[in-house]
Amino acid sequence: MAAVTSSETAKVTLPGDEQILITREFDAPRHLVYKAWTTPELVKRWWSGNRGEMTIAEIDLRVGGAWRYVMVTDGGFEVAFHGEYREIVPNERIVSTEVYEGMPEGEALNIVTFTDKDGRTTLTVLVQHASKEARDAHINSGMETGMQEGMDLLEQVAVSLR
Protein backbone atom coordinates (compact mmCIF):
# COMPACT_ATOMS: atom_id res chain seq x y z
CA MET A 1 0.00 0.00 0.00
CA ALA A 2 1.15 3.54 -0.70
CA ALA A 3 2.36 5.59 2.23
CA VAL A 4 -0.17 8.03 3.60
CA THR A 5 1.47 11.35 4.29
CA SER A 6 -1.55 13.29 5.43
CA SER A 7 -3.67 12.80 8.51
CA GLU A 8 -6.59 14.73 7.03
CA THR A 9 -9.58 12.62 6.16
CA ALA A 10 -12.53 13.28 3.96
CA LYS A 11 -15.73 13.71 5.90
CA VAL A 12 -18.76 12.05 4.35
CA THR A 13 -22.29 12.81 5.52
CA LEU A 14 -25.73 12.02 4.13
CA PRO A 15 -27.61 15.31 4.58
CA GLY A 16 -30.70 14.13 2.69
CA ASP A 17 -32.12 10.87 1.38
CA GLU A 18 -30.80 11.55 -2.11
CA GLN A 19 -27.55 13.27 -1.17
CA ILE A 20 -23.95 12.58 -0.28
CA LEU A 21 -21.75 15.41 1.02
CA ILE A 22 -17.97 15.08 1.01
CA THR A 23 -15.89 17.74 2.78
CA ARG A 24 -12.12 18.13 3.03
CA GLU A 25 -9.72 20.94 3.87
CA PHE A 26 -6.49 21.44 1.91
CA ASP A 27 -3.34 23.24 2.96
CA ALA A 28 -3.12 25.09 -0.37
CA PRO A 29 -4.66 28.20 -1.92
CA ARG A 30 -7.95 27.87 -3.68
CA HIS A 31 -6.76 28.52 -7.24
CA LEU A 32 -4.34 25.58 -6.98
CA VAL A 33 -7.00 23.20 -5.69
CA TYR A 34 -9.21 24.33 -8.56
CA LYS A 35 -6.36 23.83 -11.00
CA ALA A 36 -5.62 20.30 -9.71
CA TRP A 37 -9.35 19.54 -9.96
CA THR A 38 -9.78 20.76 -13.54
CA THR A 39 -6.48 19.98 -15.34
CA PRO A 40 -6.51 16.51 -16.99
CA GLU A 41 -2.84 15.65 -16.45
CA LEU A 42 -3.13 16.64 -12.77
CA VAL A 43 -6.45 14.82 -12.24
CA LYS A 44 -4.77 11.68 -13.59
CA ARG A 45 -2.30 11.82 -10.72
CA TRP A 46 -4.79 11.78 -7.84
CA TRP A 47 -8.30 10.79 -8.86
CA SER A 48 -7.83 7.01 -8.75
CA GLY A 49 -6.44 7.19 -5.21
CA ASN A 50 -4.66 3.97 -4.29
CA ARG A 51 -7.01 1.90 -6.38
CA GLY A 52 -5.42 1.88 -9.79
CA GLU A 53 -4.29 4.02 -12.70
CA MET A 54 -6.30 6.56 -14.62
CA THR A 55 -6.14 5.89 -18.32
CA ILE A 56 -8.40 8.70 -19.52
CA ALA A 57 -9.15 12.16 -18.09
CA GLU A 58 -11.00 14.36 -20.56
CA ILE A 59 -12.19 17.76 -19.42
CA ASP A 60 -13.93 20.26 -21.68
CA LEU A 61 -14.34 22.93 -19.04
CA ARG A 62 -17.20 25.07 -20.33
CA VAL A 63 -20.94 25.03 -19.78
CA GLY A 64 -22.32 22.21 -21.95
CA GLY A 65 -18.82 20.69 -22.25
CA ALA A 66 -18.26 17.01 -21.49
CA TRP A 67 -15.93 15.20 -19.11
CA ARG A 68 -14.95 11.55 -18.93
CA TYR A 69 -12.74 9.69 -16.46
CA VAL A 70 -11.60 6.09 -16.84
CA MET A 71 -9.49 4.14 -14.39
CA VAL A 72 -8.17 0.61 -14.39
CA THR A 73 -7.62 -1.12 -11.07
CA ASP A 74 -4.41 -3.05 -10.54
CA GLY A 75 -6.46 -6.19 -11.06
CA GLY A 76 -7.53 -5.01 -14.53
CA PHE A 77 -11.06 -3.96 -13.62
CA GLU A 78 -12.12 -0.87 -15.62
CA VAL A 79 -14.45 1.80 -14.26
CA ALA A 80 -15.61 4.80 -16.26
CA PHE A 81 -17.60 7.95 -15.48
CA HIS A 82 -18.75 10.80 -17.65
CA GLY A 83 -20.93 13.86 -17.51
CA GLU A 84 -21.55 17.40 -18.65
CA TYR A 85 -20.69 20.76 -17.10
CA ARG A 86 -23.74 22.79 -16.14
CA GLU A 87 -22.25 25.73 -14.27
CA ILE A 88 -18.69 27.00 -13.90
CA VAL A 89 -17.48 29.81 -11.66
CA PRO A 90 -13.66 29.68 -11.90
CA ASN A 91 -11.96 28.96 -8.54
CA GLU A 92 -15.34 28.82 -6.79
CA ARG A 93 -17.90 26.37 -8.06
CA ILE A 94 -18.47 23.65 -10.63
CA VAL A 95 -21.80 21.96 -11.24
CA SER A 96 -21.77 18.91 -13.47
CA THR A 97 -23.70 15.75 -14.14
CA GLU A 98 -22.13 12.36 -13.45
CA VAL A 99 -22.98 8.95 -14.85
CA TYR A 100 -21.24 5.77 -13.77
CA GLU A 101 -21.04 3.85 -17.03
CA GLY A 102 -21.65 0.57 -15.23
CA MET A 103 -25.07 1.91 -14.21
CA PRO A 104 -25.92 4.31 -17.07
CA GLU A 105 -29.55 4.88 -16.07
CA GLY A 106 -28.58 6.73 -12.89
CA GLU A 107 -27.44 10.30 -13.42
CA ALA A 108 -26.29 12.37 -10.45
CA LEU A 109 -25.59 16.08 -10.15
CA ASN A 110 -22.26 17.05 -8.54
CA ILE A 111 -21.94 20.46 -6.96
CA VAL A 112 -18.32 21.21 -6.09
CA THR A 113 -17.37 24.33 -4.13
CA PHE A 114 -13.94 25.76 -3.28
CA THR A 115 -13.85 28.10 -0.29
CA ASP A 116 -10.80 30.14 0.66
CA LYS A 117 -9.80 30.62 4.30
CA ASP A 118 -6.41 32.12 5.24
CA GLY A 119 -4.61 30.48 2.35
CA ARG A 120 -6.28 27.12 3.02
CA THR A 121 -9.13 25.72 0.97
CA THR A 122 -12.27 23.91 2.01
CA LEU A 123 -13.59 21.68 -0.73
CA THR A 124 -17.14 20.33 -0.69
CA VAL A 125 -18.65 17.87 -3.13
CA LEU A 126 -22.42 17.53 -2.90
CA VAL A 127 -23.70 14.58 -4.90
CA GLN A 128 -27.40 14.87 -5.62
CA HIS A 129 -29.03 11.69 -6.86
CA ALA A 130 -32.49 11.31 -8.37
CA SER A 131 -33.55 8.76 -5.75
CA LYS A 132 -32.49 7.26 -2.45
CA GLU A 133 -31.95 3.91 -4.19
CA ALA A 134 -29.49 5.48 -6.62
CA ARG A 135 -27.70 7.26 -3.75
CA ASP A 136 -27.37 4.01 -1.79
CA ALA A 137 -26.14 2.15 -4.85
CA HIS A 138 -23.48 4.84 -5.33
CA ILE A 139 -22.11 4.35 -1.82
CA ASN A 140 -22.26 0.60 -2.28
CA SER A 141 -20.17 0.98 -5.44
CA GLY A 142 -17.49 2.51 -3.21
CA MET A 143 -17.69 -0.64 -1.19
CA GLU A 144 -17.24 -2.77 -4.28
CA THR A 145 -14.15 -0.76 -5.18
CA GLY A 146 -12.89 -1.38 -1.65
CA MET A 147 -13.45 -5.08 -2.09
CA GLN A 148 -11.78 -4.90 -5.45
CA GLU A 149 -8.80 -3.26 -3.79
CA GLY A 150 -8.69 -6.11 -1.30
CA MET A 151 -8.73 -8.60 -4.14
CA ASP A 152 -5.92 -6.70 -5.85
CA LEU A 153 -3.81 -6.86 -2.70
CA LEU A 154 -4.50 -10.53 -2.42
CA GLU A 155 -3.39 -10.98 -5.99
CA GLN A 156 -0.14 -9.13 -5.28
CA VAL A 157 0.53 -11.34 -2.30
CA ALA A 158 -0.23 -14.41 -4.35
CA VAL A 159 2.15 -13.31 -7.11
CA SER A 160 4.92 -12.59 -4.61
CA LEU A 161 4.59 -16.11 -3.24
CA ARG A 162 5.14 -17.75 -6.61
Partner 1 sequence: MARAATTTDAFNAVAEARRRQILDILATGERPVNDLVRLLGLSQPQVSKHLRVLREVGAVDVRDEGRRRMYRLNAHALKPIHDWVKNYERSWSERFDRLDGVLEELEEEGDGGGDE
* Interaction site with partner 1 (CB under 8 A): 4-6, 8-14, 17, 20, 22, 24, 26-29, 31-33, 35-36, 42, 45-51, 132, 136, 139-140, 142-143, 145-146
Give the residue with the Cβ less far from partner 1, 102 or 146.
146
Output the smallest distance, CB 84 to partner 1, in A: 22
> Least distance to partner 1 from the beta carbon of 162, Å?
28
Of 74, 93, 77, residue with least CA distance to 85: 93
- Residue number, 102 or 142, with CB nearest to partner 1: 142
Sheet harboring 93-100: ordered strands across?
11-13, 19-26, 120-128, 107-117, 93-100, 78-89, 66-72, 53-59
Does residue 59 contact residue 69 with C-beta atoms inside 8 Å?
no
**Which lies closer to partner 1 via its Cβ, residue 58 or residue 140?**
140
From the CB of 42, what's the least distance to partner 1, in Å?
5
> Of 144 and 161, which CB lies nearer to partner 1 in the complex structure?
144
Inter-CA distances, 22 with 6, 11, 12, 101, 161, Å: 17, 6, 5, 21, 39
Residue 117 to residue 80: CA distance in whole angstroms:
34
| Closest separation in Å from C-beta 24 to partner 1 | 5
